Amino acid sequence: MTKVGNISSLFYSPLSGRITAKELLLDTKGIVNDKHYDKELNRSVLITSLESYELAKKHGIDVHYGALGENILIDYNPYHLPAGSRLKIGNVILEISQPCTLCKSLTNIDTKLPKILKNDRGVFTKVIEAGSITLGDNIYILD
| Domain boundaries, given as residue ranges, for the chain | 2-142
pLDDT at 105: 81
Tell me the CATH number for domain 2-142: 2.40.33.20
143 pLDDT more than 90: no
Q: What percent of the chain has pLDDT over 70?
A: 100
Report the side by side order of strands in the sheet with 131-134: 30-31, 23-27, 131-134
pLDDT at 23: 98
